[in-house]
Amino acid sequence: MSAPIQLPDFNLKVSIHPEAPMKKLLILAIISSVATLTACQQKAAAPVAITTGAPVAIVNGTSISSEIFDFYAKSRAGKATADLSAEQKQELLDDLIRIELMTQQAAKDGLDKQAEVTSRLELTRQNVLAEAVAQNFLKGKTPTEQELRAEYETQVATMPKQEYRARHILVATEPYAQTIIDKLHKGADFAELAHKESMDNSKEQGGELGWFTPARMVPAFAEAVSGLKKGEITPKPVQTQYGWHVIQLEDTRDVAPPDFEQVKDRLGQIVQQKKLQAYVEEIKKTAKIEKKI
């Protein structure tokens, strides 16, 4: 049985610890192929596509515009249409034709009237427009060196100052965890007990968890580790949503902040994210919003 104890990182706050996962901007980019599919799907309600150029194909009387084809080609192949081979163009065009055929079939089957489908289409439309607003707002707002340095200092100030190395044994009940603590106090080897008794995958390493910061662990586990001295074992079992833990603190070390240049690109994303959040909040202030639930 596996019971990882590290918390998933769902917070809006962006850490610049070198091991932390890369954060996305507030407005998520729409996957290009999905956006293209949606653009084609929306034609089910309007069979004649709006286009300023000659269509690249006509399917049962419905045109696939050159604009849609160019966008789809760039999204899928990452190149402008002019840079694609004739074979690549035909493959992409066949894709769009299949999508158009499925779109038309969806309309025939009445799927475009289903609540879930119309809701998904509307949410996709809103996401595409929200992304466009975000990109338009951020245009020309490249963070300055001063802004990056200021954000760097802000992030460093909120970083954990210490990392911990610990091992643990995870069991299903408090009484059983207490018997393990009693065995350890009588001289039993922690690694051997972990390998024999723990429900966590770390049992294969004798319960070893490696280096971590408190923020990467569930609160109860982090609090217990933070209260230990090197070599100490938790005096009582520690409960989390995964079960009951017996924890031993092996070592601690200071956390050095990453070099500014190392995280400069990520800092730029954070600065832009904050600008966008502030912009959205300003829009919200002047909006009339009535919550019904």
pLDDT digits (tens, 9 = 90+) for 246-264: 999 999 999 889 999 999 9
**Is residue 27 a part of any domain in this protein?**
no
Domain of 268 in residue numbering reads as 140-159+262-293
CATH code: domain of residue 207: 3.10.50.40
pLDDT in tens, 60-117: 999 999 999 999 999 999 999 999 999 999 999 999 999 999 999 999 999 999 999 9
**Is residue 2 a part of any domain in this protein?**
no
d(CA 55, CA 63): 6
Q: Provide the token pair at 116.
A: 């879930």
Q: Provide the token pair at 63.
A: 């045109």
Instruction: Report whether 30 contacts 128 (CB < 8 A).
Output: yes
**Is residue 117 a part of any domain in this protein?**
yes
The reply to whether 196 and 109 lie within a common domain is no
The reply to whether 154 and 167 lie within a common domain is no
**Is residue 3 a part of any domain in this protein?**
no
DSSP secondary structure code for residue 26 in this structure = S
d(CA 48, CA 40): 11
Provide the whole-model pTM.
0.63
The reply to whether 175 and 238 lie within a common domain is yes
Q: Is a pLDDT exceeding 60 seen at residue 165?
A: yes
The reply to whether 232 and 284 lie within a common domain is no
Instruction: Report whether 193 contacts 169 (CB < 8 A).
Output: yes
Closest CA to 254 of 210, 209, 213, 208: 213
The reply to whether 155 and 120 lie within a common domain is no
Closest CA to 240 of 224, 220, 216: 220
The reply to whether 102 and 221 lie within a common domain is no
Q: Between the CA of residue 12 and those of 51, 274, 283, what are the distances in Å?
A: 40, 10, 19
Number of structural domains found in the chain: 3
- For residues 121-132, average pLDDT: 96
pLDDT in tens, 255-288: 889 999 999 999 999 999 999 999 999 999 999 9
Q: Is a pLDDT exceeding 70 seen at residue 20?
A: no
**Is residue 52 a part of any domain in this protein?**
yes
The reply to whether 247 and 177 lie within a common domain is yes
